[in-house]
A = this chain, B = another copy of it.
Amino acid sequence: MTDSPHRSGCPINLAVEVFGDKWSLIVLRDMMFGNRRHFREVLTQSLEGIASNILADRLKRLMDDGMISRADDPTHRQKAIYSLTEKSIALVPVFAQLGAWGRNWMPATEELSARSELLEHGGPIMWECFMSELRNIHLGAEHKGPSILEELQHAYEEAVARMRNEEEGEQTLSPPA
């Protein structure tokens, strides 16, 4: 009937068409929450061990879909820097809800859940502030207000330290002094 490239005009389907695969949201997550902007950073710091050819393919697709942009990095000759666009920054509420679901219904680790928990509890006001900060980092827009990225990082580090203390506590308890 139409020559639309899409399976249907349903908004859920259109979202699935863009990032309904095993890696696109992982790459966007690392750019958004880890501020990884160079190919090698995303590749070598990947928790899930993304392969080089898959990463290259996903970056290309995400560019074709307008989710990221690519530019020469003025501070690194021969290096490209990738940035989020408005379209992917608008995924912050989706990430917040996906993280909340994964934390509640899947065996997420406490350290890796700390950021998700903070983002869920911060609600729409924190999400807006985070989107404003991402516009500053990735698009050069002005940002007023606190750094949500720093708050998220702090929550993660606190959780790591808490886990470490608990482990040490267990170790010193086993042979009582």
By a CB distance below 8 angstroms, the chain B residues around A112 are 8-11
Contact B48 A99 (CB under 8 A): no
Contact A7 B48 (CB under 8 A): yes
In the complex formed, the residue of B with least CB distance to A14 is B106
- The complex places the Cα of A107 from the Cα of B48 at a distance, in Å, of 32
Stoichiometry, as copies per complex, reads 2
Give A12-52 as 1s and 0s: 1 = Cβ < 8 Å from B's Cβ atoms: 11111110111101100100000000000000000111000
Residues from 57 to 96 in A contacting B, C-beta threshold 8 Å: 87, 90-91, 93-96
With A16-B25, A21-B20 given, is the CB distance from A11 to B94 under 8 Å? no
A55 at the interface (CB under 8 A from B): no
Contact A91 B101 (CB under 8 A): yes
A104 at the interface (CB under 8 A from B): yes
A116 at the interface (CB under 8 A from B): yes
Contact A99 B7 (CB under 8 A): no
Task: Add 5 more A-B contacts to A8-B112, A11-B106 (CB < 8 A).
Answer: A9-B112, A10-B112, A12-B98, A16-B98, A20-B25
